[in-house]
Structure formats: structure tokens, C-alpha cells
A and B are shown apart, each in its own frame.
Chain A
Amino acid sequence: MDVLNRLLELLAGDPQADRAVPPTGFTARLTVLSAAAMAFLAVFALALSLATGRLADRWSAELAKTSTLRISAPQDQMDAQTRAALTVLQSTPGVAEARPLSADEQRALLAPWFGPDLPVESLPIPQLIEIIEDADGYDATGLRARLQAEVPGAVLDDHTRWREPLVEAASRLRLLGIVSLALIAVTTAAMITLAAHAALAANAQVIRVMRLVGARDIYIARAFVRRFTLRALLGAAMGTTLGTLAILLLPRADAAGGFLTGLGFQGWHWLWPLVIPALAGLVAFVATRQAALRTLKEQS
């Protein structure tokens, strides 16, 4: 909170102190420009980590949900095998619920292919059992072994498992997004430190005169810190606005676009980019303050 107080005090400003340090047009423009570029990149890194985060969450939620057991058996053994399979499933750890689909449900599933009037009962079509897993999930290999022994006609189809590597990739992408954000923050800090150093060096004579009339280091530092913090804020605000607009204007294809068009913000996540200018200001504040106090200590 100490930092926050100092930051607020600083932004409140002291126009006299600002006047004492001459404006440096070139470093000023460079600082604004680089802060804007970094903020623009940060918006995309943020959107990337949020989108991949959503994707990973959704896919892993689907993963956890269901699998299907298919029983193909001669008509007269069907009921017995179904019951046997249910018994096995109910005693399998990790299975929350197992439920044979009714004839109506099966008809509904087949309707797209064979039309609604299919006489399900009279056809040798397999019986489906929907398995709902609990949070921990079950051991698929173990279950298959038991089913093979007790229900010869059963085939376990845990079809959503192919998504597992995708979920992992999505999580990894989210991590990369976060790492990019951190790198952007570090680069911003480095760049602002360099700019502050340049400004301090260019103003060595001004600093000397201010000291001669009794200015404390912290006073001189504040004039620089305030300037760079405001520039970083301004640049980051511009960059964030442009970046957010760019994301807003991404073509919004239907669900088929999947991941690519999902790159954006949803709901209140649109507020996330607001954090970027604030963070840029904070980074600039800390970086300039350190640079200024250190340089002033060295300069005599």
C-alpha cells in the first residue's frame, strides 16, 4: 500500500517540479510508442491465455463426463449381458452412474441415418449403456479386462479420450500466454529504465543546479518518475485500445471456427485489458524510481 500511496501522491503531481526538468521530446515519444506497442502485444497475449484457458476447461469438463459401453450380442442374450455389464459397472470405482439407453433414445440417435420409424426392437442393433464418471474417473484398462471376462459382447468406447493431448496443448498455450505477459512486463521495465537513464544523463546540469539550491534526491527523482509513469500510462492506454479494437474486429465465424475465432474476450473478461495500462504505469513507476534514485546516488 505504501507503493500505491506514493503512486497516487505522484500522479496528483507538482507542476512546478515538472517544469524544473526540461521536456525531452525524443525519449518522450519513444517511451509512449514502446509502451503502446507492448500494451498492444499484451492484449493478444492476454486474449490467448484466456481463450486457451476456456478451451482447456471446456474440453477437460467434457472429458470427465461420459463414455459409452456398446453390447453386441444375439437377441436372446442381450438382456442377460446388459444386466451383467451393469453389475460390473456398478461395482467399478470411478463410475458414478451407468444407464442403459431406452429404445426411444436409441431410435433418436439413429434417426438421422435411418429415419424416425426404425423398428429398433426387431433389429439386431447393439444396446448402449451411458457411463457417467465421477471426478476421479475409472481405470479403463481394468474395466475392459473385467468386461471381457464377464460380458463377451461389450465394447467400451471412451471416445473423448483422444482429446487428452489437446487439453494438455491448450493448457500449455495458456502457460505460454502468461509467460509472454511476464516477458512483456519485463521488457517494458527494461525499456523504461533505459529511457529514464538517458533522460537523467541528458539532464545532469539541471540536476546539478537543482541540488545547488537545496533539492533533495527524492524531489528530483519524482519529477522524472512522474513524467515516465504518465507516458507509460498514456502509451499503454493507446496500445490497449488498439489491441482490444483489433480483437473486437476479428471475423466472428460460427462454432466451426473453433479455437481461432474463439480468440477474444467473453463477458466480463472484456474488463481484463483495463489492467494493462494500470500495470504499465506501475511497472514504469517502479522502474523509473529505481533508475532515478540509483543514478542520482552515483552522480555527484
Chain B
Amino acid sequence: MIELDNVAYNYGGAELFSGLDLQLAAGSFHFLTGPSGAGKTTLLKLCYGELVATSGQARLFGQDARGLDRDAVAQTRRRIGVVHQDCQFLDHLTLAENIALPLTVSGRTASADDLSDLLGWVGLSKQTEQFPPQLSGGERQRAALARAVIMSPEVILADEPTGNVDWEMSQRLLSLLVELNKMGKTILIATHDISLIRAAKAQVSARVLRLKDRRLQLAGADL
């Protein structure tokens, strides 16, 4: 699905990471950990084509990300659901409209049933008509996950999807991702939350990658 091949990236200064390889095979489940500032978010941005590698090659669904034109990038993003660390909502749209936005921009409409099922699962049934600035950090994160999965994308990239929610809710969100993985979706979660990783490994076979000191490594079995 997504492959990074000998990739390096810098924001104009020193290399954030280099010589980095990553393969997200179809149906795989990955965690990405590492210290704050190591470049996890940056790595995810390479995976959905918001950033282009300084060197090396990123292949999204077999296509070199560097060669994609605007429309092709848009097309690719419809196949990848992303939970952004900073959520990225449109503040003038209601929560329901924000969650349905990926469908809207691709010319489809959300079935009311699907939407309310999804909102129910992430515990936001009562907030559908509220606007993002009126929501708590955890509510926004849950909405971001709902928006990421509404298109039923082949790949889901989640950046700290449980950073602001309680343990119980984080388990609910995790089980949603696990269920999607069992349906064949490819999942990558960037997180600091070790207990989330442990809980996931009890349910699926997940690989844990650690980004540290400019390298990406497989984490030890203790995780």
C-alpha cells in the first residue's frame, strides 16, 4: 500500500531522519512511537503526500508521490483516512458536516444511518450540531477518527488518536480500528501511549516501530 524507500526529510535545517524504509502491507497493523519531536507526524505526512521526501522515494499505492499531480494527490487521499494530531476541522461547519466532509468533497452524501452509527460509536451522538471550537479536545479527537474512517478508506493513518481521551474511550476507539483492520484495512497509529499498544497487541498482531535518533527501528518484544 504505502512504501518509503531510503527516505530522508528536513524542514530546511538538519535531517529529521534519513535512510528510512517502511512498508505498510495491505491489512497490516503498525504502531509508530518515539520521543516528541522525533518526526512521527512528519513521517505520516510523507505517507499521505502532504510532504514530499527530500531524498529517497515514497510510493503511495505503487505510485511515486513525487510524480503525482494535484488531482492524483486528491484521489490518493480519498483512499487514506487520516487522524491529524491537530484535528484540522472547518470551524464554521457542524460536527456532523465536518465528519461527512470527505464524502461531500468527493460528491457523495453520507447515509444518515451510517453517520449516526458512527457518531454513536465514538460517543458524539449529542454533539452533532455543535461546532468544533465548542468541543473538548477528546471530543474533537473522536470526531477526527470518525472523519478518517467515514470513507471506509484502504489505509488509516492516526496521529495520537487517543491523546486526550480517557482509558475507556481509548479502548473503544482502538476496537474500532481493530475491527477495521480485521476487515482488511491497513492501519498505522502514531502514539506515546504504551498501554494502548499493549492492549492492541492482545487483539491483533501489530508491529511496533520506534523513530529515534533519525532512524526507524522495530521495537523490542517488551512492547
Contacts and interface: CB of A to CB of B under 8 A. Distances in A.
Interface in B83-98: 84, 88-90, 92-93, 97
B30 interface: no
Contact of A214 (B74, B84, B109): B74
Contacts of A214: 74-75, 77-78, 102, 105-106, 151
B93 A213 contact: no
Interface stretch (A179-187, A203-211, A266-274): A203-211
A141 interface: no
Contacts of A17: 104-105
Contacts of B71: 216-217
Contact of B89 (A209, A211, A219, A296): A209
Contact of B105 (A208, A215, A297): A215
Interface of A is mostly: helix
Contact of A212 (B84, B92, B109): B84
B40 interface: no
B16 interface: no
A216 B73 CA distance: 9
Contacts of B147: 213
Contacts of B89: 209
Interface residues of B, number: 25
Interface string A177-209: 000000000000000000000000000001011
A17 B50 CA distance: 22
A16 interface: yes
Contacts of B97: 19
B104 A209 contact: no
B74 A215 contact: yes
A13 interface: no
A22 interface: yes
B31 to A, nearest CB: 22
Given A212-B50, A214-B75, A214-B77, A22 B101 contact: no
B82 interface: yes
Given A19-B93, A20-B90, A22-B92, A210 B101 contact: yes
A209 B97 CA distance: 13
B70 interface: yes
B69 to A, nearest CB: 10
Contacts of B82: 212
A179 B12 CA distance: 53
B104 A20 contact: yes
Contact of B90 (A16, A209, A216, A219): A209
Contacts of A219: 105, 107
A20 B74 contact: no
B102 A213 contact: yes
Nearest to A210: B105
A219 B101 CA distance: 12
A20 B105 contact: yes
Given A212-B77, A213-B101, A214-B102, 5 more contacts: A19-B97, A215-B74, A216-B74, A217-B70, A217-B71
15 contacts: A16-B109, A20-B104, A22-B92, A209-B90, A209-B101, A211-B73, A211-B77, A214-B105, A214-B106, A214-B151, A216-B74, A216-B105, A219-B105, A219-B107, A297-B70
Interface of B: 50, 70-71, 73-75, 77-78, 82, 84, 88-90, 92-93, 97, 101-102, 104-107, 109, 147, 151
Interface of A: 16-17, 19-20, 22, 206, 208-217, 219, 296-297
